[in-house]
Structure formats: structure tokens, C-alpha cells
Amino acid sequence: MSNNKTSYQLPDLPYDLNALEPVISKEALEIHYTKHHKAYVDKLNEALDKYHEAELKKNVDEMVALQSAIQFNGGGHINHSFFWKCLQPKKDATSPSKDLLEVIEKDFESLDALKEKFNAQATAIQGSGWCWLAYNELTSHLEIITTLNHGTLRENKLLPLLIVDVWEHAYYLQYQNKRADFLKAIWDIVNWGAIERRYKKI
């Protein structure tokens, strides 16, 4: 079995641990990335190893019982990996290009209105979850949606453009209970270039 061990890895961050300061401190990013994200990767690997063993033994009860751990930790790994790529140092901040801005204005009236709506929905998440800006292939519109815990967009015909982590571990060290303050600050480090590249591939 040892050769069949699953080994998803913690992906490299596209910047240094202190690069997102002051919005996300070095300490906060270090804990978030090397402890929280790492734990999801480890637990995903563990659950998948057990799943493979159960599959070999044709133990469907065990396979079904492992689904929840795979979904939770796998979603945590997928969402965090995407989240890191949605951010960049404040010094590199850019605004959406004219083309992207036109799309945003069509669906939200203005960039400020998009941010306001996004933050309102993210603030309102009860408990832990994620807030997304996504493209809906069925309606051809941009949408803001939220998922609870580590829910992903996979099943919804939605193509993710931006994600923000709204778990308390994402902000508590610096912002304590003020989730809204964290969400206000996060826009300073949103990587609009990356969002634009994703949108152009649609």
C-alpha cells in the first residue's frame, strides 16, 4: 500500500509570508497557510488513503462514511489554494481593466456596488464559509454567492473568479470579531489581473 499513498501537497504561495501586510499580517498568513491549510491537505490525504483501502476491501459502508471527510478537507484544500491566487501585495495593486469594468458595471452598476454587495453577503454568512464572485454560464452574468464550511462551486455551473475566506481563522488574529473591517481591507490586495485572466478564458 505504501506506494499508493495519496499525497496532495501544500502549494507554494505566490508571494512571501509578509507580502500581504498590513491587510494580512505575516503571523496571520503563516498560521493560516502552514497550519490551517496544511491540516486540510494532511486530512484529505489521510481520508483518501482510507478510502482506497476500503475500496480494495470492497467495504462500501466505510467508503460512504469517508465522503464527508473527503468533501470537507478536499474543499478546504481547493478553496485555500484558489484564495492565495486571488491575492497580491498591496504595492502591486491594480484596478480592473476597462473591459472588465464594463462587465462589472453591466451586472452591478459600479465597482463600489459590487464590493458593497460582496461584503454584505460575506458578512452575513452564519458561521464559517466563503464568498465568491463567479460567472454563471447559464445566465451569462456575474454573480456573488456564498458557500458554507468548505463548499465549492463545482456543482453549480459557476466559474469562480474570486474567493474570500470568511472563516474566523482568516481574520480573528488582527480584526477580532470585526469581519466587516477585514472585508473592507481585503479589496486592497485583491489580484484583479488574475480575475481578468480567468474571465478572458470563459
| The one among 133, 160, 165, 199 contacting Mn ion by CB under 5 A | 165
Quick one: 100 or 186, whose CB is closer to Mn ion? 186
Give how many residues touch Mn ion by CB under 5 A.
3
Residue closer to Mn ion (CB basis): 175 or 199 = 175
Shortest reach from residue 3's CB to Mn ion, in Å: 32
- Choice between 107 and 165, CB closer to Mn ion: 165
Shortest Cβ distance from residue 40 to Mn ion (Å)?
A: 8
Choose one: 67-75, 91-99, 135-143, 167-175; the region binding Mn ion (CB under 5 A): 167-175
Q: How far is the CB of 175 from Mn ion (least distance, A)?
A: 14
Q: Which stretch binds Mn ion (CB under 5 A): 11-19, 129-137, 153-161, 170-178?
A: 170-178
SS (HEC) of the chain: CHHHCCCCCCCCCCCCCCCCCCCCCHHHHHHHHHHHHHHHHHHHHHHHHHHHHHHHCCCHHHHHHHHHHHHHHHHHHHHHHHHHHCECCHHHCCCCCHHHHHHHHHHHCCHHHHHHHHHHHHHCCCCCEEEEEEEECCCCEEEEEEEECCCCCHHHCEEEEEEEECCHHHCHHHHCCCHHHHHHHHHHHECHHHHHHHHHCC
The footprint of Mn ion (CB under 5 A) covers 165, 167, 170
